[in-house]
Chain A
Amino acid sequence: MVETKIRVDHVSYWYSGNQALSDISLEVPARSVTVFFGPAGGGKTTLLRLINRLNAQLENTRMEGSILVDGEDIYAPTVSLPELRRRAGMVFALPLPLPGTIRQNVLYGPSLAGIRDRARLDGILYRSLVQAALWDEVKDRLDSPASGFSGGQQQRLCIARSLAVEPDILLLDEPTSGLDPISTAKVEQSLMELKEQYTIILVPHSVQQAARVADYAAFFLMGELVEQGSGEALFTRARDQRTEDYVTGRFG
């Protein structure tokens, strides 16, 4: 039996009166890649952002249900947001290097967390960049501005930045939507290695990508969770006609 890392329990969500998610329940297994896929506006990103409470600062929103990480309700009033977000790192659709060098970018999180020890920071820098499959390309230019690198390198830098705070969970929101196929392949390759240690949730930018990387998959349509299961099952023999139609490209 696989270990459940994240349990989403009857979650509904409203943005200023519009329902974005309705009654979503699913389980995300530990140390594997789970994809949330479906057409735009389905609620994938919304659910992803709910898992590290990035929507907390938005006004006019309402949520029902609960989300548990390691059995702990992350919407409990005692939960520390920075702590939660260190545990669930997030990578966004556009590569977004912060102003500064490669080193500064990767070490932003650790230095915010108050780590000052030089040797330890160097260790984190090395480990994060290796895990994100970027070390070989940037090892001689660690103190160059991050803005001078290619989109694919910047996106892997963002992954390294998320890994630097030693999360358990990695949330990736269309991380390859702006990348060329070679860079995309590299990012996907590093995901395959990362899933040995991390629980990864990916919103893919295409059905093909979903099929390539998914251990588990959940199909979202108009704020509803239509179907979930192993990636293999969903992409080859979907039970729901809508999933079947979307996967085979009949709509979307």
Chain B
Amino acid sequence: MRRSRRTLVALRSGPEWAIEAIIRVLGVSTIGLVALIFIFLLTEGLPAFFEIPLGNLLGIRWYPTSELYGTLPLLLGSVLITVVAMIIAFPLGVCTAVFIREIAPAWAREILKPMVEVLAGIPSVVLGFFGMVVLAPVVREGLGAPTGLTTFTGALVLAYMALPTIISVAEDALDAVPKSYRDAGLAMGATEWQTIWRVVLPAARSGILMALMLGMGRAIGETMAVMMVTGNAARMPVGLDALLRPVRTMTATIAAEMGEVASGSTHYHVLFAIALILFVLVFAITLASASVMFRRRERGGLR
């Protein structure tokens, strides 16, 4: 039997080449799609900045029927509701993560972790409905708000929605702290709690910061639940009572009005301009969290 001559030159066989090409096309097209969406946003949104004066666009009155396109109340509405949601969700989420990772016995951890994931899977419309029928009356009667559909109600629902993200990311960050850190803390005579507070949490701080950012990204982009529970009045959320008054976010505005506008009209372009602002905002948050992660990697993990 004659042995075929071996060669070191790799011959690209047919199927190998085809599979590689398919993977390449798929990979590039994903990036391409994102780029296309951005270009679409730009072409539809940018005209708004030329069609109406900047003073109007950044004004405080959003009455599209009267040609008043002030996006400031919407922007502030989104920011306020997100910030309040984070003030509620961040401490709660970090504490839960600490409990799951550091304090709970193994069997409880096994139950709690999947439960947190299930929490993340609840459709936002269900949470919005829950907010409407359960939270809103509580806010109205318990806190004396004129209506139950307020910034605070929205922030509560958003906090609930951001919790799973914050918990699982923070928990991963705690998990990444080497066991030797805990030993070192305990060996210095720290109590379990001192070790968690003074050693483990500081060591995991960049990951915990990332949990906050991702939770924020999740909250600011949320539409359906927010639309259902915030009352959607485009008023400036200023003053101490802003929390207990209705508010309108950028996302809710786009969702509520996009179906009604004439394609190509000024109103239509402004809605896309709002989407553009939202995009930039979320992009900035993502970028910030990525840079936190990058810094962490640069320093060689948590060491």
Contact = CB atoms under 8 A, between A and B. Distances in A.
A230 B183 CA distance: 30
A147 B186 CA distance: 20
Main secondary structure of the interface of B (DSSP, over half): helix
Contact of B188 (A59, A99, A112): A112
Instruction: Across the A-B interface, give the 8 residue pairs with the lowest CB-CB distance, nearest first.
Output: A86-B189, A90-B187, A109-B188, A85-B189, A82-B189, A112-B190, A99-B202, A112-B194
Q: Which of B185, B190, B202, B203 has the most CB of A within 10 A?
A: B190
A161 B181 contact: no
A59 B105 contact: yes
B188 A89 contact: yes
Contacts of A112: 188-190, 194, 198
A86 B190 CA distance: 8
Interface in B52-92: none
A92 B183 contact: yes
A85 B183 CA distance: 11
A45 to B, nearest CB: 11
Given A54-B186, A82-B190, A112-B190, 19 more contacts: A57-B186, A59-B105, A85-B186, A85-B187, A86-B189, A92-B187, A96-B178, A98-B185, A98-B199, A98-B203, A108-B185, A108-B198, A108-B199, A112-B188, A112-B194, A158-B184, A161-B188, A162-B188, A165-B188
Contacts of B202: 98-100
Contacts of A162: 187-188
A240 to B, nearest CB: 32
23 contacts: A57-B186, A57-B192, A59-B106, A81-B186, A81-B191, A82-B189, A86-B188, A89-B188, A92-B183, A92-B184, A92-B187, A96-B184, A108-B199, A109-B190, A112-B188, A112-B189, A112-B194, A147-B299, A147-B303, A158-B184, A161-B188, A162-B187, A165-B189
A70 interface: no
Given A108-B198, A112-B194, A147-B299, A96 B181 contact: yes
Interface string A86-103: 100110101010111000
B248 to A, nearest CB: 42
Contacts of B7: none
A86 B189 CA distance: 5
Contacts of B198: 108, 112
Interface residues of A, number: 26
Interface of A: 52, 54, 57, 59, 81-83, 85-86, 89-90, 92, 94, 96, 98-100, 108-109, 112-113, 147, 158, 161-162, 165
A52 B187 contact: yes
Interface in B194-248: 194, 198-199, 202-203, 205
B203 A99 contact: yes
B13 interface: no
A165 B185 CA distance: 12
A198 to B, nearest CB: 15
Nearest to B105: A59
Interface string B161-192: 00000000000000000101101111111111
Nearest to A113: B189
A56 to B, nearest CB: 9
B180 A85 contact: no
A81 B183 CA distance: 13
A98 B205 CA distance: 13
A81 B185 CA distance: 12
A100 to B, nearest CB: 8
Given A59-B106, A112-B198, A147-B303, A54 B189 contact: no
A94 B180 contact: yes
A82 B192 CA distance: 9
